[in-house]
Amino acid sequence: MTAAPRRGRLAASPLLPMLAVLVVAALLYLPLMLWANVGPASRALASGADLGCPTALACATQLRNPVLPAPGQLVQGFRSLSVPPTAPTSAPYNGVVTGGETLLGLVLATGLGLVLAALLVLSRSFERATLPWLVASQTVPIVAIAPMLAVLLGQYGVQGFVPKALIAAYIAFFPVAVGMSRGLRSPDALQLDLMRTYSASPARVFFQLRLPASLPYLFTALKVAVTAALVGSIVAEISTISFSGLGKMLAENSRASDTIALWVIMGYGAALGVALVALVGLLERVVTPWRAGR
């Protein structure tokens, strides 16, 4: 009797599809790496460069700055940028800094998004007056805003961690506001009529009907917002004066043309994004336990 439910839970788990994609990517990586690196290796050999290998195919796994690093180069790159993990130049340390900026930005974005969503739902005049401007705010390139905001905040002594978090919040608040406003409007007319039948006040309708109904929408929006906040944090670190963070590492290694290090840092950034989305998913399970079985 218990085998079938277990098989059903296993089939419904996202772990198996993720592992299948990982296996396919691993199988395709080596031929793609060779295909991408044979051309540069062939041109380098044709120009007379001594690469220490006889053919372009043999050199494809030994290029100093490959298009796609060989597996051994990736392993060595991860080792050199990860040990010791608490060093200011290590990727784990800088990943924690970027993660902290992202989480602070997400908290600020969530607070602002919730307030805006409530106002958009409760006031049609506010929605008509502000929604076009909210949409327009997301069309401004963050690369242009980040240095301006850093300079402006620097004039008031706000430096370091906070400006990056504010830039992350600027990118992340819009998905929260839009998703939450849709969630607050999700109760159907029969549910609203029932609350009015019991003479419920607007505040009671909001907190006892609209807000609980909007929680699934909120967490869906937060999963989008946290990835946007991560991108905002990294772009802010690249675009402003930064002494730590994955964006700072990307900028430094890009100037040094160290493509292996860039791939390693991008790997850490992807892992950080997955971890942050998983953290939001865990919070969703805690706040909405009635949806855990879905």
User: What's the pLDDT tens digit per position in 32-49?
Assistant: 988 988 888 888 888 877
Orientation of helix 259-287 relative to helix 71-82, angle to 10° = 70
Write down the pLDDT at residue 292: 59
Write down the pLDDT at residue 5: 52
In this prediction, residue 213 has a pLDDT band, given cuts at 50, 70 and 90, of: confident
For 49-58, 87-96, 123-132, 161-170, which range has the lowest pLDDT when averaged over its residues?
A: 49-58
Write down the pLDDT at residue 41: 87
Write down the pLDDT at residue 153: 76
Q: What is the mean pLDDT of the chain?
A: 85
In order, the DSSP letters of 130-195 are HHHHHHHHTTS-HHHHHHHHHHHHHTTT--THHHHHHHHHHHHHHHHHHHHHHHHT-S-HHHHHHH
- Residue position matching structure tokens 């850093």: 150
What is the pTM for the complete model shown? 0.85
In this prediction, residue 14 has a pLDDT band, given cuts at 50, 70 and 90, of: low
For 38-52, 87-101, 107-121, which range has the lowest pLDDT when averaged over its residues?
A: 38-52
pLDDT higher than threshold 70 for residue 7? no
Distance linking the first and last C-alpha atoms of the chain: 21
Q: Which residues of 206-225 are buried (b: 16+ CB within 10 A; e: fewer)?
A: beebbbebbbbbbbbbbbbb
pLDDT higher than threshold 80 for residue 237? yes
Respond yes or no on whether the N-terminal peptide bond of residue 14 is cis (omega within 30° of 0).
Answer: no
Instruction: Express as a percent the part of the chain with pLDDT over 70.
Output: 94
Write down the pLDDT at residue 6: 52
Write down the pLDDT at residue 50: 75
Write down the pLDDT at residue 293: 54
Residue 197 CA to residue 184 CA, distance in Å, equals: 20
Residue 41 CA to residue 287 CA, distance in Å, equals: 54
Average pLDDT over residues 114-139: 89
Average pLDDT over residues 167-186: 91
Report the phi/psi class of residue 52: left, alpha or beta, with left for phi > 0 and alpha for psi in -120 to 50: left
Average pLDDT over residues 188-206: 79
